[in-house]
């Protein structure tokens, strides 16, 4: 009976997420995204709730991007409020990903990130060193969402996981928000494209560093086994 109730709660949770995603996408198309920004300016608390909600979803759902909406948060709420809201959303989303992986195991994780990505980073399940995990968070930010799930399958405690995720996320958010603010945010399309270009360059550098670490860690694992 306990297992039946547990599975029922799982299905209800997943169903609610799917319904919310469909409703959000439909509302955006019907109302128009420019009008939505105007409405969010007029109703700031509602806007903050929507922004945090989207940030949570973008962290749980690997294919949903978050960085492109950061200039919007800066425009609407200012620097430190945008940083705070982003951090809250990311930490809530990262916590959900970790706990989902810990409770439901590999089958759910593979579904969320795909078998190819899972196979590629599966060896990170054995990373239990806090310093190593911090480096993964800092230099493997383009794999942030996938690593959140993998961490849930590891032996890392939730407390260690959330502390490291908080520190690394704060550093990344501050770094990107400063860049966005320096180049003008959403004032013109040129500044927005510049921001995306810089982000792309940062991701490219992060990917190279990630691949170096990735190969080194895999080789180390093979030698031990």
pTM passes above 0.85: no
Residue 46 has a pLDDT of 84
* Ranges of the chain whose pLDDT falls below 50: 1-7, 10, 13-14, 21
213: left (phi over 0), alpha (psi -120 to 50) or beta: alpha
User: Domain range for residue 191?
Assistant: 32-224
Asked, for residue 88, whether it belongs to a domain, the answer is: yes
Cβ-count burial of 10 within 10 angstroms (0-12 exposed, 13-18 middle, 19+ buried)?
A: middle
Q: How far apart are the first and last CA of the chain?
A: 41
Asked, for residue 22, whether it belongs to a domain, the answer is: no
Asked, for residue 15, whether it belongs to a domain, the answer is: no
Asked, for residue 128, whether it belongs to a domain, the answer is: yes
Asked, for residue 1, whether it belongs to a domain, the answer is: no
Domain count within the chain = 1
Distance CA 51, CA 48 (A): 5
Residue 6 has a pLDDT of 40
Asked, for residue 13, whether it belongs to a domain, the answer is: no
Taken in order 60, 61, 62, 64, the sign of the CA dihedral is negative
Asked, for residue 201, whether it belongs to a domain, the answer is: yes
At 44-79, the pLDDT tens digits run 888 899 899 999 998 998 877 787 788 888 888 889
């Amino acid at each position: 009976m306990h297992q039946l109730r547990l599975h029922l709660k799982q299905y209800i949770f997943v169903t609610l997420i799917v319904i919310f995603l469909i409703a959000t996408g439909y509302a955006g198309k019907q109302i128009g995204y420019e009008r939505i920004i105007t409405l969010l300016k007029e109703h700031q608390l509602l806007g903050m709730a929507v922004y945090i909600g989207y940030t949570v979803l973008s962290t749980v759902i690997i294919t949903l991007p978050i960085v492109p909406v950061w200039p919007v948060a800066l425009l609407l709420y200012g620097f430190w409020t945008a940083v705070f809201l982003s951090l809250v959303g990311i930490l809530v989303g990262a916590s959900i990903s970790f706990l989902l992986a810990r409770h439901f195991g590999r089958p759910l994780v593979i579904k969320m990130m795909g078998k190819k990505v899972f196979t590629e980073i599966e060896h990170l399940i054995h990373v239990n060193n806090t310093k190593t995990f911090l480096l993964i968070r800092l230099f493997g930010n383009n794999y942030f969402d996938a690593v959140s799930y993998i961490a849930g399958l590891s032996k890392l405690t939730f407390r260690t996981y959330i502390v490291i995720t908080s520190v690394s996320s704060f550093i990344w958010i501050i770094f990107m928000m400063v860049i966005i603010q320096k180049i003008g945010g959403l004032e013109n399309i040129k500044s927005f494209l510049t921001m995306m270009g810089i982000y792309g360059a940062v991701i490219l550098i992060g990917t190279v560093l990630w691949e170096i670490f990735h190969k080194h860690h895999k080789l180390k694992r093979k030698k031990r086994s």
